[in-house]
Chain A
Amino acid sequence: MRAAIQALSSSLLVLGLFAGDVEAANKIGVITTTTDLKALTEAIGGELVEVEALARGSQNAHDLEVRPSLMAKVRRADLLVVNGLELDQWVEVVVQGANNPKVIGGAPGRVDASAGILVLEAPKTRVDRSMGDVHPLGNPHYTVDPGMAPATTANILEALARVAPQHRAVFERNRREFLGRLDQAMARWTVALAPFQGAKVIVDHNMWPYFLTRFGLVQAGSIEERPGIPPTPGHITKLIALMKEEKIKVILIVPWGDRKLAERVAQDAGAKTVLVASAVGAVKGANTYVDTIDYNVKALAQALR
């Protein structure tokens, strides 16, 4: 018993010393729940931040398995940027296991990037689970819309400035430059999708209302009848009939979606599937935030042509 206690004490001491070195890093350690938020935080923080995302771009950020490795990342964070609107509620379990008071709810190192945005599809009536895994606060996929970046980056900027007020000017300059680049790209994207105003598309998961509204496109239906529940054959039959009737030619699919089912629906309806990037890093070539929107706009324009 004594030997066991001695071994435990020694190992804790060694780990404690090691911990001191790790904490000595100079950059602001930021953890984001999604890769979109990582890209936006990097754009604002520049060289002053070191950012890691908990979910990979190709993963469904709704429903991530809470691994202790995520807790280890959050343990060392100065700032935690969450998507909010109940997309990434699993992060609460990660924070609980991370023992880092800097990023618990209400702490200065915690920011909800959705604060103050114009939320779409917020239910106006009572919702319950008969509708599937619904989001009672509204659709949480606002980061795929580049038009939301000003609000989102403003939240991130304020949080970074809370953690490192001495660098506020740098963060503000970085944000201005980033939004400038985004404005230029936005003009390009708007022109690219202008010929398809009012075009109808089908999605596999209802995560594109912000993006489609921004560029004047219409979501006519979804393969996923109710969030989190596989679609019924009856729903698929109705969807195919709708696509034929309205001559809908495009189904947007995300990397983590059921591609085989989408392709079967597309084949039956005489349409085609288009793989879109659900987040930065979700597909090859979508390495930055602008690249990701570029990829999606090009893929969509090409499919609708």
Chain B
Amino acid sequence: MRAFVALTLVLGLLVPAAPAPAQDAEALRREMEQMRKQFEAMQEQYKKTMDSMAERLERVEARPQPAAAAPPVAVQPAPGAPPATGVTAQRPPGSAPSPLDLITPRQPFALYERRGPGQLLFDMGMVSDFVGNLTQRNVQKAEGGTFTGRENRFFPREVEVNLFGRIDPYAEGIIRFEFAQESSDREISATLAEAYLTLLTLPFGTKLSLGQVPVRFGLLSHLHREALPQTDAPNVLTRFFGEEQFRETGAEISWVAPLPFYFEALAGVFNGDNETAFGRGSLRYPLVTGRLRTFFDLEDFGAIELGGSIANGQTPEQLNDQIIGFHTKYKYQPAGWQRALFTIAGEFLYGIRQVNVTDPDAASPVEQKRTRERNGWYAYGEFRPFQHGPLSLWSAGVRYDRTQFPVNPGREWAVEPYLSFMPSEFLRFRVGYKHTERSHRDGVNLNEGSARTVDELFFQTTFFLGAHPSHPF
């Protein structure tokens, strides 16, 4: 059987190779002519393609080549790059300057002349976030609006200048300056909002950030204010951490597990400068934080993030404060869509805080230590129902939050529908309405005003200059 198959194969291969007896000279001639024409056509095509490539080569050589992320191999100078200016530029790297180098005048504008993409060696980005709000007169008097002291005003909530880039092969750095109007005095304050380095090459999938960092606690507390999904932060976050973003000075280490799904663990040690929640401000009694976060990509069914956080520190009165949080976020993005059709997210905070209280009715008032257990939560949903066209630039959402006051008695709840319009990735307009109701006038009863029921209209304009903002989950 095997011999028969082999014979068949051999015959099969030989037969087509042999000249067909029926094929006459005329047919062969026609076939050759056809092949010759095909060959000429292909030759012509190749000639045109080569001409076109030569033209492209000329065009490319006429300008400097972009600096590509080069592998660590010997790099040839880019063809057409402008000639190096100055004697020092012609010296082999690493060699000492010769006496001739030292006496030769430097080219003062050499950097400008040779400047090209990537030669600044770090990146810059700017964000400008303006917010306006309208509310009742009594709320303004009591300074009980969402933007305390800036009720019924349009003000620069946050103008950021971000400088970021690699420090060396082992680390990267970020410096962020922030200009903002934060109180009723209409002064613009300039602050160093963030300044930290991150060591990138540590072993076992770890990374260490040192300096003034946004503390990654929960879902939103570390975000820049212009990056929040609504105009303002949820009341529960403002009550527990203050209106300022939760940022601290210290060290934070992160570990990403080498697993088929995402799992990240974070731990941080900080001064504890956040005045709303902690404020002890000493490394002898540090603020210690931790967060565990995981993520499941459900492909056609969306994606979900789950996380838990903890922060433990001391208040200026040398009393303990511990905040525990859980968060989740779900997004559904149909196949082929650039953005999620809808997003649902929520976060729950639970605080255990020691406070000193004095009973005013006692004959001899004595401070007593008490423990306050308080909680709060928020949830929001956002919809972007159109994939293409002008309507795809719009999104709408609503947020509900409910919280107890962390120290004093009382609670509040709020609901906030909003509408966003993004003509491009670099420009956003947002309007929103927020209704808040409070059980007490805690902290919002200044000037004999009342702010138990607050209705506010928000207007927000945000624009970005510089690098394209990425879209984190």
Contacts and interface: CB of A to CB of B under 8 A. Distances in A.
A115 B473 contact: no
Contacts of B431: none
**Among the interface residues B257, B265, B296, B471, which one has the most CB atoms of the partner chain A within 10 A?**
B257
A282 to B, nearest CB: 10
A165 interface: no
B389 A89 contact: no
Interface stretch (B86-94, B228-236, B362-370, B420-428): B420-428
A268 interface: no
Contacts of A11: 292
B310 A4 contact: yes
Residue from the set B69, B264, B340 with the largest chain A CB neighbour count within 10 Å: B69
A65 B45 contact: no
Contact of A256 (B73, B338, B470): B338
A99 interface: yes
B439 interface: no
Interface in A123-143: 124, 129, 132-133, 136-138
B27 interface: no
A66 B338 contact: no
Interface stretch (B28-36, B50-58, B268-276): B50-58
Interface string B188-224: 0000000000001110011100000000000000000
A137 B46 CA distance: 28
Specify the main secondary structure of chain B where it touches its partner. mixed
Interface residues of B, number: 77
A78 B256 CA distance: 15
Contacts of B177: none
A75 B473 CA distance: 17
Nearest to A129: B426
Nearest to A197: B48
Contacts of B263: 15, 72
A180 B144 CA distance: 74
A67 interface: yes
B200 to A, nearest CB: 5
Contact of B256 (A99, A105, A197, A213): A99
Interface string B230-269: 0000000000000000000000001111111111110000
Contacts, number: 196
B472 A93 contact: yes
Contact of B470 (A89, A118, A162): A89
B295 to A, nearest CB: 4
Given A4-B310, A105-B69, A216-B48, A67 B254 contact: no
Contacts of B41: 191, 194
B56 A213 contact: yes
Interface in B313-365: 322, 331, 333, 335-336, 338-340
A105 B338 contact: no
Contact of A99 (B45, B206, B473): B206
Contacts of B201: 101, 104
Interface in A64-105: 64-69, 71-72, 75-76, 82, 84-86, 89-90, 92-93, 97-101, 104-105
Contacts of A84: 68-69
Interface string B49-91: 1001100110010010110111111000000000000000000
A132 B303 CA distance: 30
A98 B297 contact: no
B388 interface: yes
A50 interface: no
B299 to A, nearest CB: 9
Interface stretch (A55-63, A170-178, A269-277): A55-63
B295 A67 contact: yes
B261 A69 contact: yes
A213 B52 contact: yes
A91 B169 CA distance: 18
B99 interface: no
Nearest to A11: B292
A120 interface: yes
Given A66-B472, A99-B205, A104 B71 contact: no
A187 B45 CA distance: 9
A23 B41 CA distance: 53
Interface in B457-473: 467-468, 470-473
Contacts of A64: 471
Contacts of B205: 19, 75, 99-100
B424 A101 contact: no
A112 interface: yes
Contact of B38 (A4, A8, A93, A191): A191
Nearest to A109: B71
Select the residue from B201, B205, B254 with max chain A CB neighbours within 10 A.
B205
The 7 A-B pairs at the shortest CB distance, nearest first, are namely A69-B297, A68-B295, A258-B388, A68-B262, A115-B68, A72-B262, A112-B69
13 contacts: A63-B338, A72-B295, A89-B468, A106-B169, A115-B68, A118-B60, A122-B60, A122-B66, A147-B49, A190-B42, A190-B45, A214-B49, A260-B388
Interface of A: 1, 4, 8, 11-12, 15-16, 18-19, 22-23, 58-60, 63-69, 71-72, 75-76, 82, 84-86, 89-90, 92-93, 97-101, 104-108, 110-112, 114-116, 118-120, 122, 124, 129, 132-133, 136-138, 147, 155, 158-159, 162, 187, 190-191, 194, 197, 213-216, 228-230, 255-258, 260-261
Given A1-B322, A133-B424, 14 more contacts: A12-B255, A58-B336, A65-B471, A67-B295, A69-B296, A75-B205, A99-B255, A106-B69, A110-B71, A112-B68, A132-B424, A194-B41, A230-B390, A256-B338
